[in-house]
Structure 1
Amino acid sequence: MTGPTDDEEPGGGPPDPLDALLRPVIQFLPVPEGSFERIRRTAARRRRAKAAAGGGLVAVLVAGSLLLGGAFTAPGPTVVVTPPVASSGLTPSPSEPGRTAPPSPSTPVPSSSVSGGAGGSRPTGTGGAAGSAAPGGPSATSTSGAVAATPMCATSQLTAKLGGGDAGAGNVYRYLVLTNHSGTTCHVTGFPGLSLLSADGTQIGAPATEQSIAHAPVVLRPGESASDTVHTANRQTSSSTECLPSSAELRIYPPGNRDPLVFPGQVTNCDNLFSVTPFTAGSTGNPPS
């Protein structure tokens, strides 16, 4: 006995005509060439895009946490930067050729006696005697920007003079004037060293002390002047006032110099009050009057 043919049902009957409609033969289309490569490339791009998006999200979260942490952290102590002193960098270094470092402002100027005998000469200023009027030449300028282009004034460039002054309430004020008589612009800054001398050149008492007030470098063009104020006590008739002998001359060490100028001038140190202010522009003392 033979089995059913392809056109017969398993039961031996003829094939059902509806099978061709209900169960059609499936025919698959051929796969286009290169489809799998395109699918792999598309999948790889999607993976990279997802990885980049995930990394950006992590970076945003980290940055947000840092910002929040800084917002709730107490600020640290404030650092205060101290500005340099006004005269800083203006003093020539001892290593510079042809330049001499000035004595420290806190160190008194040497107070050894200067003799006027034949053993040595004393440079003298050409200014007038005590009580003479302040020079009427042009005034100097306190321009810090011009200081860098000018050297510090040497003693040989300067002329010293005791100018006018003022008095009141038991105090005496005299103006000490330095004038640039050279043909070169220079500058002065800070305090001079100042001592009183007798007629024979012997120092009277201690050098002047420094009366600290704000000051700036003073640029002196040829013929210009700078000045400071010498402060002493007024001589009284009362026996309680102690005065040293009045000076016949004054000796000044210009700022930054170890060579002095000696010039005529009468100043009396009473009650051990003898001080000097730093230099400023003009010829009417510091502060100007």
Structure 2
Amino acid sequence: MVYAPRSARHGALLVGTFAVLGLLTACGSNSHDVHSSPPLTASGTAAPATGDTQSPGPATSAPGSAATGPGAAVPSAPRATTTRGGGTAPSAASSDRCHTSQLRASVGGNDPGAGQENFPVVFTNTSGRTCTLHGFPGAAFVSASGGQLGPDPKRESGSPVTVTLRPGQSAWAGLSFSNPGVSGATTATPAALVVTPPDERDSLRVAWTGGAVPVGGNSSSVFLSVLAPGTAP
């Protein structure tokens, strides 16, 4: 065994102590640098692709629940009502219109004035349900054999309205023409007036008792007004 002087052993101990202290200091310095650096972050959701026209909805939803975010789809309302048998219910316009078979036609008395002859053409609801009339009727004077006398009547100015007829109620349209004795028009005496309700093809025949009507020449036009509630002005 080699004996080292006391001074040498003391010096070696001091060197080792300083080495340990230096290592600890270095470790503390490195630990401080790591914690002082800004932390790295990463998003867990990818951004939508460019040009996406729909806002992103929720990533997940609970089973049985509907999404309510901006991207949620809204169900459209039904467009038609179906009957119990599976057919489509008719619209109000087609189901409520008065048909020829539900009406009775008549011609009221003459109400002359200022060289004009004026007759109300009346439609009465004879059915058991409420129905409607809208617009102008059609009309034509005919002979006993059924041939038309004169041109079709013209429509007077006026805005069509919907007239609702409960069973037994009536609507009327004015039929007017210049007095042939004043106008000098060519005349004929019709056997009947054939009238057609608005939007219908079938007509109703009414006996004509109003005398001669203009069928040609000067002031021979006959006019019809829009339908209105009631039986006369």
The answer to whether the 8 A contact 1:147-1:219 is kept is: no
**1:212/1:268 CA distance change after superposition, 3 Å:** farther
SS in structure 2 opposite 1:31? helix
Aligned counterpart for 2:135 among listed residues 190, 193, 213: 190
Partner AA of 1:272 in structure 2: S
How far 1:34 sits from its partner (Å)? 5.2
SS at match of 2:173: strand
| Equivalence for 2:29 | 31
1:157-236 → structure 2 map (5 Å cutoff): 157-236=102-181
Deviations 1:185-232 (A, max 9, x none): 222222222011234433221221222420122222211111111121
| 1:174 Cα offset (Å) | 1.3
Separation in 2 of the partners of 1:199 and 1:170?
Answer: 28
Note if 1:281 corresponds to 2:225. no
Q: Give the partner amino acid of 2:223.
A: S
Output the CA distance in 2 between the equivalents of 1:215 and 1:204: 27
Runs of 4 or more above 4 Å deviation:
none
Partner of 1:159, secondary structure, is strand
CA RMSD after TM alignment:
2.9
CA distance in 2, matches of 1:149, 1:33: 88
CA distance in 1: counterparts of 2:179 and 2:146, whole angstroms: 24
Aligned residues: 155
Give me the whole-angstrom Cα distance separating, in 2, the residues matched to 1:163 and 1:147.
31
Q: Which runs of 5+ in 2 are unaligned?
A: 1-24, 42-89
CA change 1:205–1:34 in 2 (3 A) is same
Q: Which runs of 5+ in 1 are unaligned?
A: 1-27, 46-98, 100-145
Of 247, 258, 280, the match for 2:201: 258
Alignment of 1:42-53 (within 5 A): none
- Tell me the distance in 2 between the aligned counterparts of 1:153 and 1:34: 95
Q: TM-score, length-normalised on structure 1?
A: 0.47
